[in-house]
Amino acid sequence: MIVYACPGQGSQTPGFLSPWLELDGVAEQLAAYSEAAQVDLIQHGTESDADTIRDTRIAQPLIVAASLVAERQLLERAGRRPDGIAGHSVGELAALAGAGVISADDAMRLVGIRGRAMADAAAHTPTGMSAVLGGDEEAVLARLEELELTPANYNGGGQIVAAGALPALAALAEEPLRGTRVIPLQVAGAFHTSYMASAVAALRDAVAGVEASDPEVTLWTNRDGSTVSDGAMALSYLVDQVSSPVRWDLCMASFAEQGVAGLVELTPAGALVGLAKRGLRGVPTVAVKTPEDLDAAVALLNGDAA
């Protein structure tokens, strides 16, 4: 079983879409996605600086669009879909499209709404997120509770992302637990926490008119790492996920239990492959960062990898 992993917010970098625009049809694809998301993806993916594309309204559509572009290229070159797919946080929208639950255009429309709603929610109170690397999980969770921070992402591989008020995150960094490192993340709010309640309501209204089909490939949910066979339920989970923890650790555990034999991380790739190398030791991986990585991904998909 070969699976796709669709990355989440923070994986974007300035100019990362430039090499993709050299491929036939990608400019037209991104223009359509720009209209659906109400974001100029070509400008922001080629010209905008790091501060600009850090904006949640821009970052989320950029990331989902990039995954969908890579997904289409792989389908055309490999002649097949993956056996399964999962997305990390906002990457779940790309995963739902890749599994055939919703259309790519619906995914882009919804990610535009999601990004704007989460940015608006974050603007109400200054909050942020920091990755805690290493340490004993129980001790880390106890420290977060002491500081009134929320474990927003359980990423596996010894990484938990804390979210909440900026003074509390500063205290976490100033006095890290023994054996841990604290890395502030370039995001604008405490995503996947109760701070995002208004964004949940906005996204729930948006999905009400979306037609959902049952997945055509195995689809995992960040809710608890389980597989979802009902498309409407998968869409409901995606809405709830905006204010609930991302359980990527449980997704990886489920990959292992189901005998995943390879993982391809879609664009903009890198972070999830890094987690897989620690959490899925021995499983071959390919990070599709640029079009030059497509051949390696096709080889893994079709069983031709060295």
pLDDT greater than 80 at residue 240: yes
User: pLDDT tens-digit profile of 46-85?
Assistant: 999 999 999 999 999 999 999 999 999 999 999 999 999 9
Looking at the chain, the whole-number percentage of residues with pLDDT higher than 70 is 99
Distances (CA, A) of 190 to 93, 121, 132: 19, 9, 15
In the structure, what pLDDT confidence band is assigned to residue 157 with cuts at 50, 70 and 90?
confident
- What contacts 210, CB < 8 A, 6 or more positions away? 102, 106, 110, 235
**Averaged pLDDT, 128-134:** 94
Of 89, 56, 108, 110, nearest to 223 (Cα)? 89
pLDDT computed for residue 52 by the predictor: 94
- What contacts 76, CB < 8 A, 6 or more positions away? none
pLDDT computed for residue 10 by the predictor: 82
Q: Which domains does the chain have, with CATH numbers?
A: 2-123+193-301 (3.40.366.10), 125-184 (3.30.70.250)
User: pLDDT tens-digit profile of 191-238?
Assistant: 999 999 999 999 999 999 899 999 999 999 999 999 999 999 999 999
Question: Which residues does the annotation mark as catalytic?
Answer: 89, 192
pLDDT computed for residue 187 by the predictor: 81
**Averaged pLDDT, 118-123:** 93
**Averaged pLDDT, 31-38:** 98
pLDDT computed for residue 304 by the predictor: 65
- What contacts 278, CB < 8 A, 6 or more positions away? 156, 157, 158
pLDDT greater than 50 at residue 306: no
